[in-house]
Structure 1
């Protein structure tokens, strides 16, 4: 019997948020880009949304967590993943990354980047 591995993802979700370790970052904010990808064994092909991950729900989670100011992007990523696996416990892998555009450091930096991956225990 063949098995299908399925991915549902959102790429380049643009947000303005107040994340940052330094107090001034939490006052002025900056722009971020979030990528979120889920992988799981396909649950059926009956053309029903209940058989898959609803990327509208993923977007809601991203936007909600981006509004919740944190010092570390790692905390934001962990919170996003926790909510995704709570909503969809059948998910095997979640990859989430955040790009912080123009981080406040000397020199010209396009973005900083942090990624966190969740893999379900076998």
Structure 2
């Protein structure tokens, strides 16, 4: 039997935040770019927001968690995923990545990247 799978995502969400392991990173801050993607089996297609993931909610989660300074980007991503699956328990997959633009290290580094994925066991 065929089945639809739906993706709702936000790409290239730009934020200024103060995440970083070193105190100077938390003091100075940096620019970050976040991608967040959800996948699930849709309940139907009758034009109701309640039957999907609202990407405005996804943006709110991203913005909130980026304001909450953490040492590790892994912690930020875990917090984002936890909030998404709490708000939308029907999602099967959540993928989130964050790029830190111009990380403070020697040489010319365009960005660092951390990615975390969740897969439902349902």
Q: Which residue of 1 aligns with 2:106?
A: 106
Q: Which residue of 2 aligns with 1:49?
A: 49
Q: CA RMSD in A?
A: 0.6
Structure 1 position 43, deviation (Å): 1.3
Structure 1 position 5, deviation (Å): 0.2
Distance (Å, rounded) in 2 between the aligned partners of 1:63 and 1:83: 12
Q: Which residue of 1 aligns with 2:60?
A: 60
Distance (Å, rounded) in 1 between the aligned partners of 2:58 and 2:26: 24
Distance (Å, rounded) in 2 between the aligned partners of 1:87 and 1:32: 24
Distance (Å, rounded) in 1 between the aligned partners of 2:99 and 2:49: 30
TM-score w.r.t. structure 2 length? 0.99
Structure 1 position 2, deviation (Å): 2.8
Q: Which residue of 2 aligns with 1:94?
A: 94
Distance (Å, rounded) in 2 between the aligned partners of 1:19 and 1:85: 23
TM-score w.r.t. structure 1 length? 0.99
Distance (Å, rounded) in 1 between the aligned partners of 2:98 and 2:74: 9
Instruction: Give the gaps of 5 or more residues in structure 1.
Output: none
Given that residues 103 and 109 in structure 1 are in contact (C-alpha distance below 8 angstroms), is that contact kept between their aligned partners in structure 2? yes
Q: Which residue of 2 aligns with 1:7?
A: 7
1:82 maps onto 2:66 in alignment: no
Instruction: Give the gaps of 5 or more residues in structure 2.
Output: none
Q: Stretches of 4+ moved more than 2 A in 1? A: none
